[in-house]
Amino acid sequence: MFEVLLGISLGLLLASNAALWLKLNTCYSSLTKLIQASNDLTIDVPNLEDIREEISNTIEDFMGNLHVPTAQDHFIGGLSQIMQMWAMKKFQPMVEQMQNQLSPAQEYVQPEWPSENQ
């Protein structure tokens, strides 16, 4: 009986090795085809001067559109702060109510696990 099991095990081992060898052989042939195909590709290296010029042009355009703040800008900024303070005072009760609803209950009780003695 032992000889039969040993023969079957060796046969399965030989069959699995043959299947793995066939799979590796097909992978190797696919890989060699990909490598040969990649040798035909040419990669264009980007010109760094063009990239530098593009970046500097973008920065110049951005900096050219900036302007010194005017009195109108300062007035609108002050007005927006006053409106934010008004809104904070007006909506404070609603904010507190939402925080109380969203915060976990303070009276949360830990579940009791059964002790090992039971």
**Between the CA of residue 59 and those of 38, 54, 69, what are the distances in Å?**
38, 9, 20
Tokens of 16: 């699995």
**Between the CA of residue 91 and those of 68, 69, 79, 85, 110, what are the distances in Å?**
35, 31, 18, 10, 35
Each domain of the chain, given as residue ranges in start order, spans: 1-38, 71-100
pLDDT in tens, 43-59: 778 889 999 999 999 99
pLDDT in tens, 69-97: 899 999 999 999 999 999 999 988 888 88
pLDDT in tens, 27-39: 999 999 988 888 7
